[in-house]
Each structure stands twice: as C-alpha cells, then as structure tokens.
C-alpha cells in the first residue's frame, strides 16, 4: 500500500477534506464514513504536520510510527474478519450455509491462476450442478457447541429472569449483574436465619 502511493493519497485527501474541518474547529471524527478506513487515524499526527515538518527527522520518525500502527491495525482487522467468517460460517452449529471455498490472494502475480480462474470454476460448477475440482473449507464445530440449544427456555431463580438460548443463559450466569444479585441474596439469607433463631 505504501509502495502504491498510500501516503500521497492520504495527504491529498487530508488537504481536500480533513484540513478545512480542523481549521473550522471541528475535531476529526474517525467513527464515520471513509474516516473509519485503516490509515486515517493511524496517520493523523503525521498528516497534521506542515510539509517542512513532515520532511524533518521528527516527521520521518512519526511516519515510520504511523506505518507500524497501520500494519498492527491491519493485522487486527484481518484476525477479526477471519474470526467472524469462522464463527458465522465454519463453526456455527445450527446454520445452513452453502459450500465455502478459500482463495489465496497473497501473491498478486498469481492472481489469475489462484483467484480468477478458481473463482470462475467454482461458480460455474455451482450454477451448472457439476462436480467442483476444489475442496471446500473445513467446517469445524466443537462438540459442546453442537449441544447448545439457541431456542431453549432458561429461568434464573436468582435474578428472577427468563433467557432464551443456552448460550445467552451461560453468559448471564457469569455476568456481573447475576453475581451481584447472588451476593446480595447470600448476605440476606444468614440474617434471616439468625432472625428465625431468635
């Protein structure tokens, strides 16, 4: 991304959109629109420098630090995406899903062979109902997850609440709210027992 001109793109965008906003006294909002894109918030301090400051030693160090932060954020984002795909499609016990195939996009020089041709073959075989030459991604569902009932009726006697789904109920039993109510009830019970003895 750096070699393809990311810094120039960020500087141009900053000059056109973000700089005027900051001069008007409005702080940058990295929670909306394109400003959520990886790179904007990581490079904010560098973008705020003047051209002279950016070319200084301090500016170059800030640029290196921004690049490191962007790489870290990119890795985190990729891990979240992978976890989301696995959780929704490859490890979900009750979801009916179509076959999922992996495409290796790491080497751009092999894009046509590993991505384009493979994707076209997969789609053609699916549309025509013919056998596919590629294997699907491995579905791995934990045996414990298979036993979880998403529609079960669970009643917590401690909190006097009804929860639908085993997973929701399990989360509730570990929650701060449940523990707090349980603690209060345990404090009340010994005092009631002492009152009964008197």
Which among 106, 171, 173, 100 is positioned nearest to 138, based on CA atoms? 100
**What percentage of the chain has pLDDT greater than the value 90?**
28
Q: Select the CATH number that applies to the domain covering 148-197 from these four: 3.40.50, 3.30.160, 3.30.450, 3.30.9.
A: 3.30.160
- 70, with CB counted inside 10 A (0-12, 13-18, 19+), is buried
**85: Cβ–Cβ under 8 A, 6 or more apart, which residues?**
100
Q: For position 21, what pLDDT does the model report? A: 76
Report residue 26 as tokens: 């409005």
Domain boundaries, the chain: 6-90, 95-146, 148-197
pLDDT in tens, 88-127: 777 665 667 778 888 999 898 999 999 999 999 999 999 9
């Amino acid at each position: 991304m750096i070699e393809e001109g990311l810094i120039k793109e960020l500087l141009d965008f900053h000059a056109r959109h973000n700089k005027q906003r900051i001069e008007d006294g409005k702080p940058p909002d990295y929670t909306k629109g394109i400003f959520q894109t990886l790179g904007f918030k990581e490079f904010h301090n560098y973008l705020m420098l003047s051209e002279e400051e950016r070319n200084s030693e301090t500016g170059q160090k800030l640029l290196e630090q921004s690049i490191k932060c962007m790489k870290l954020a990119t890795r985190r984002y990729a891990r979240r995406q992978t976890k989301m795909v696995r959780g929704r499609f490859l490890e979900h016990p009750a979801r009916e899903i179509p076959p999922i195939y992996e495409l290796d996009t790491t080497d751009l020089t092999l894009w046509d062979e590993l991505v384009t041709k493979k994707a076209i073959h997969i789609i053609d075989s699916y549309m025509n109902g013919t056998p596919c030459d590629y294997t699907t991604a491995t579905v791995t569902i934990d045996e414990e997850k298979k036993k979880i009932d998403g529609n079960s009726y669970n009643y917590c006697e401690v909190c006097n609440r009804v929860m639908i789904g085993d997973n929701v109920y399990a989360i509730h039993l570990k929650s701060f709210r449940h523990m707090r109510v349980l603690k209060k009830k345990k404090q009340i019970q010994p005092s009631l027992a002492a009152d009964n003895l008197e």
